[in-house]
Structure 1
Amino acid sequence: MNSPSLHRWLRNLRERRARKPRSAAHKLFVKLRIEILENRWLPAPLVVTTTADSGAGSLRQEIMAVNSGMGSVIDFSIPTTDLGYQSGTGTWLIKPATPLPAITNPVTVDGTSQMGYAAKPLIELDGESAGVGNGLEISGGASTVEGLAINRFSGSGIQLDTFGGDTVQKNYLGTNVTGTTGLGNQMGVFVHSSSNTIGGTAAGSGNLISGNTLYGIDIDPVVGVVTANVVQGNFIGTDIHGTSSVPNYFDGIYLSNTSHNTIGGNAAGATTVLTPGVGSLSGQATPYPGNLISGNGGPGASGGTDNANGVDIEVNNIVSSSFNLVEGNYVGTDVNGTAALGNTEHGVYIAGTSSNTVGGTALGAGNLISANKQDGIGIFALTN
């Protein structure tokens, strides 16, 4: 082939190749490149493996680990060979010698993780030897404390500070580990923050809050106003069966400088009538979705107090308490609503506040308030 012909042949070949469509495989072809990735890890739960007050595997050590950012879940896996195992009750006893550190990061402290848990606490946190302080102080927000018995602390069993959004459920606060005898903290739960849930409407999510030397639950800010706290499905001032009094010394629930909180409620999905047996606390019947608030107040004749209300909503002359809702509760009766278990003063006491609501027209919103020593509902000063 002479030179001009060769040039024409090569030019035609290039033109044909340029016009020929590329295959799908050719279009999808990309060059592979290997890159070095940064290390990524998800922290495993921190696990309490001993009832000892300090050292590896202790509750104190795991709280310190949470505060250092090393994890956000504290589980329990303590063997029966541990010195704190209580063979008579099948539970484990932790007795701090000094106050535990405040928990400053979000955390889940999960007592239900202890092997053998079945609706009743197996881990008992006893503050008899801890000195001045609270059982668990939660200040990191967005935290959960569940499945513990916390008693005999000079402060609160559980204190909720700062950021809020916490959940407290399935605990015994102020009683022994069997829920039958008072071993009081000063208060069961002390709430200084907003948007917390104490108890809940799911079966077994309520707390037993009884036997404390001041209030069962105190919702009261350090400064300003706290709002949007929900208290549902709890036994307050009774034993675990809801049939006998294990009194908090003063009010079952005390609210001051607080607004838009719900005590009880008429949650969506609730049954159409307020009937004991719907919802439960450790297998016991409760009004759904409200609280059983009965039996509060020490005996006046033996040095106790007659000034104990089931629910107490007040103002302390700094800011007001308003727009709180109290509905769907049993106040002053046993869990069945058939026997007297009265609080030593009013069932619901409201003083110096406005725009609060007790009861409602929706199915399940009414309260059963009976057998209290003074008024079922006492409203004083401002109009409600």
Structure 2
Amino acid sequence: VLGCNAAYNRIGGLAPGERNVISGNDSEGVNMMDVGTSHNLVIGNYIGIDVSGLVGLGNRGWGVAIQLSASGNVVKQNVISSNERDGVYFGDAGSNYNTLIGNLIGTDAGGTTPLGNGEEGNGVLLGAALNRVEGNVISGNAGSGIGVGNLYDNKGNFILGNCIGVEASGTSVVGNAWSGVYLGGTRRNFVGGTTSSESNIIGGNREGISAAANSGYNFIGGNYIGTNAEGATGLSNQWAGITLQDHTAHNVIQGNLISGNEGEGVSIGEGSDFNHLRANLVGVTVDGVSPLPNGADGVRIEAASNTVGGMYPEDGNTIAFNSGDGVMVRTYSRNAIRRNSIYSNTGSGISLADGGNNSLPAPLITAVLSTSVSGTACPGCIVEVFSDEEDEGRVYEGYAVADGTGDWTWTGSPSGPYVTATATDEAGNTSPFSAPLMVWRKWIYLPVILREG
């Protein structure tokens, strides 16, 4: 089906007999192109599979292509699978304001069996701006589930409420061979959102979300990465849950559940600076307390000037039960780790390696009373005080500022049983946790008086 300068047409439908089977063609299944091609609806079709919805019969090009400034079109509730190139392609800077909603892309008509697109094609390739990919199952494809590539001015796309690498119910794996979502040289996109209906379920892929090639200013929020749709059991991505690499900077990772992955929860590589991780659950289930560990560090940073947590109470991450360190910082400096709940990780709560964070030493706690904690640290450093059952920092208690000689005192009643502390210097380097010290409490023992009769 080819649409050039065509508007307000409908291809297919949801009523009996309205479905088209658009398969086995030498080029695209549906190709909408040119500036006048707008407000068309492609709905309820089988594109690249046979009439049973169970057997691949791919088109030799894209399943659906929207390109050359075609805009404002809707592709809804189709099965788009087994095509030789990407399942759906949005191309060039003018192909904006299109919507892809409620489709099965890379599976059979039941949404459970892989019939992937492309020898290395993606389920969806976004090379344009201001498009919306919402409520689809994008699984079983030979490349990434969704690729947002630096083809044109491809910013401001919304990727919301999809099952990516899992089947339609979000309970078992139908993985994509590469990343669930790949952001390559693209900016100001939204992967997930702030409401439950906007959460993407991303599991069973090589990586959950991968950003590279100078991607920046993207928002990754509210997703379930490595878990089922209930956030209770693992649907592991094979590597990290989220990877930022190759100068990927100024991204916000907020409010995600990042657990059950085989590698790190979050991995930030060289040159990927000024990213902010806030209010995420890393290594636990959606209840925030039950273990669902990642197979390596909770957060691994090999870059500079990133922030894990923040200055405000709502910024703190929970990073627990991971099979490596809670947070590992290697080589690079100015990575602030503030106001988090970090506990029960196999390695250290916070580890600095190869000069990471300038090897800032941990504070020394010299006294723990029922009403205060005091000690020494680097002069002028912010000292954060925590309670924990071991030697990490499960409960953030508060902070103090070390004076010019390094002395500090926090006034309050720590919950214990042990107290630890971190220091953050003026450059934004955070230390490991201090050695723990037990809370000392006063006890008053009253006499027991026995009287006869």
- CA distance in structure 2 between the aligned counterparts of 1:353 and 1:175, rounded to whole angstroms: 31
- CA distance in structure 1 between the aligned counterparts of 2:81 and 2:199, rounded to whole angstroms: 24
Match of 2:77 in 1: 147
- CA distance in structure 1 between the aligned counterparts of 2:15 and 2:164, rounded to whole angstroms: 32
Structure 1 residue 93: deviation in Å? 3.7
Match of 1:295 in 2: 204
Match of 1:209 in 2: 138
Change (3 A) 1:99 1:167: same
Structure 1 residue 178: deviation in Å? 0.6
After superposition, give the CA deviation of every residue in 1:244-302 in whole Å (9 maximum; x if it has no partner).
00000010000011011111011xxx4xxxxxxxxxxxxxxxx4321101111xxxxxx
Structure 1 residue 75: deviation in Å? 3.8
Change (3 A) 1:192 1:79: closer
Change (3 A) 1:156 1:106: same
Of the candidates 148, 152, 176, which is equivalent to residue 219 of structure 1? 148
Change (3 A) 1:340 1:93: same
8 Å contact kept, 1:98–1:130: no
Structure 1 residue 208: deviation in Å? 0.4
8 Å contact kept, 1:174–1:211: yes
- CA distance in structure 2 between the aligned counterparts of 1:149 and 1:143, rounded to whole angstroms: 17
8 Å contact kept, 1:124–1:148: yes
The answer to whether residue 216 in structure 2 is matched with residue 322 in structure 1 is yes
- CA distance in structure 1 between the aligned counterparts of 2:14 and 2:104, rounded to whole angstroms: 19
- Report the residue type matching 2:173 in the other structure: S
Q: Note the aligned Cα RMSD (angstroms).
A: 2.1
- CA distance in structure 2 between the aligned counterparts of 1:68 and 1:195, rounded to whole angstroms: 20
Match of 1:376 in 2: 265
Structure 1 residue 74: deviation in Å? 1.4
Match of 2:241 in 1: 347
- CA distance in structure 1 between the aligned counterparts of 2:238 and 2:14, rounded to whole angstroms: 41
- Report the residue type matching 1:67 in the other structure: C
Match of 2:383 in 1: none
Change (3 A) 1:79 1:208: closer
- Any residues of structure 2 matched to 1:2-81 within 5 Å, and which? 60=1, 63=2, 66-69=3-6, 71-76=7-12
- Report the residue type matching 1:309 in the other structure: E
TM-score, scaled to structure 1: 0.63
> Can you give the 5+ residue segments of structure 2 that lack an aligned partner in the other structure?
50-55, 276-453
> Can you give the 5+ residue segments of structure 1 that lack an aligned partner in the other structure?
1-59, 86-90, 112-121, 200-205, 271-286, 297-307, 360-365
Match of 1:197 in 2: 132
Match of 2:104 in 1: 172
Match of 1:125 in 2: 47
Change (3 A) 1:324 1:67: same
TM-score, scaled to structure 2: 0.53
Change (3 A) 1:238 1:77: closer
- For residue 207 of structure 2, give the secondary structure of its aligned residue in structure 1: coil
8 Å contact kept, 1:343–1:372: yes
- Report the residue type matching 2:80 in the other structure: I
How many residue pairs get aligned? The number is 255
More helix by share: 1
**Larger RCO, structure (CA 8 Å, separation 6 or more):** 1
Change (3 A) 1:78 1:293: closer
- CA distance in structure 1 between the aligned counterparts of 2:15 and 2:58, rounded to whole angstroms: 24
- Report the residue type matching 2:201 in the other structure: L
Percent identical pairs in the alignment equals 28
